[in-house]
Amino acid sequence: MTHAVSLQAAAGLAFDNLQVKWLGNQLPLSIVQFASSVKPVFQEQDVNSHPVINWNTILWSLGSLMVNPPAIAQLGLAAQYVFRMCWMTNQLRVQTLITAPQAASVLSLYNQFLAVP
Amino acid sequence: MAYPQPSADQYCLKGYQYFRLLTPLASPGDIYESQQSCHACCVGPESDIANVVVQYFDDQVANFVQQTTISPRRAFDGRIDARNEVTYAPSGMPGRIMFWAADLYDPNFKPTGFVTNTDHMQFIVPQMDVIQYFKPVDALPQRIDRQYLFQNYSVGITYIVVPFYGRKYCYAEITNRTPVTPATIKIIGVNYAITDDSSTGLTVPYHQETVLQATASLATGAQLTKIITATANGTFDALVFGVSADGPAPLKIVTSDDE
Q: pLDDT value at position A109?
A: 98
Full set of structural domains in chain B with CATH: 8-101 (no CATH), 145-256 (2.60.120.380)
Cis peptide before B111 (omega within 30 of 0): no
d(CA B91, CA B44): 31
Q: What are A49-77's pLDDT values in tens digits? A: 999 999 999 999 999 999 989 999 999 99
- Chain mean position to CA B249: 25
* ipTM of the complex model: 0.96
Q: Does B108 touch chain A (CB under 8 A)?
A: yes
Share the mean pLDDT of chain B.
95
Residues 181-220 of B with CB under 8 A from A: 193-199
Residue A57 lies in a domain: yes
Q: Å from B170 to nearest chain A CA?
A: 28
Give the percent of chain A with pLDDT over 70: 99
Cis peptide before B107 (omega within 30 of 0): no
B223: Cβ–Cβ under 8 A, 6 or more apart, which residues? B173, B174, B175, B176
Asked if residue B88 has pLDDT above 60, the reply is yes
Q: Shortest CB distance from B33 goes to which of A50, A90, A95?
A: A50
Count the helices and strands in chain B (H runs, E runs).
Answer: 2, 16
Mutate to test the interface with A, among B3, B64, B125, B200 (most CBs of A within 10 A): B3
Residue A58 lies in a domain: yes
Asked if residue B205 has pLDDT above 60, the reply is yes
Mutate to test the interface with A, among B1, B93, B204 (most CBs of A within 10 A): B93
Q: pLDDT value at position B2?
A: 76
Residue A16 lies in a domain: yes
On whether the pTM is more than 0.90, the answer is: yes
- Interface contact A57-B88, CB threshold 8 A: yes
d(CA A35, CA A112): 12
- Interface contact B100-A84, CB threshold 8 A: yes
Residue A3 lies in a domain: no
The whole-number average pLDDT for the span B37-54 is 97
Give the percent of chain B with pLDDT over 70: 99
Residue B199 — very low, low, confident or very high, per pLDDT cuts 50/70/90? confident
Domain count, chain A: 1
Asked if residue B1 has pLDDT above 70, the reply is no
Give the per-residue SS3 of chain A: CCCCCCHHHHHHCHHHHHHHHHHCCCHHHHHHHHHHHHHHHCCCCCHHHHHHHHHHHHHHHHHHHCCCCCCHHHHHHHHHHHHHHHHHHHHHHHCCCCCHHHHHHHHHHHHHHCCCC
- Interface contact A51-B31, CB threshold 8 A: yes
The whole-number average pLDDT for the span B40-45 is 96
Contact B40, B68 (CB under 8 A): no
Residues in chain A: 117
Q: pLDDT value at position B200?
A: 73
The residue of chain A with its CA nearest to that of B109 is A12
A91 closest CA partner among B4, B100, B7: B4
Q: pLDDT value at position B242?
A: 98
Mutate to test the interface with A, among B65, B128, B196, B197 (most CBs of A within 10 A): B196
B210 closest CA partner among B184, B229, B191, B185: B191
Asked if residue B21 has pLDDT above 80, the reply is yes
The residue of chain B with its CA nearest to that of A15 is B194
d(CA B135, CA B120): 46
User: In terms of residue numbers, what domain contains A50?
Assistant: 8-113
The whole-number average pLDDT for the span B96-125 is 96
Residue A1 lies in a domain: no
Contact A66, A30 (CB under 8 A): no
Give the percent of chain A with pLDDT over 90: 95
Residue A79 lies in a domain: yes
DSSP characters over B39-94: SEEEE-TT-S---EEEEEE-TTSGGGEEEEEEBTTB-B-S-B---TTSB-TTT-PB
pLDDT tens over chain A, length 117 residues? 789 999 999 999 999 999 999 999 999 999 999 999 999 999 999 999 999 999 999 999 999 999 989 999 999 999 999 999 999 999 999 999 999 999 999 999 999 999 987
Q: pLDDT value at position B204?
A: 84
Inter-CA distances, B114 with B120, B121, B169, B207, B236, Å = 8, 9, 26, 14, 20
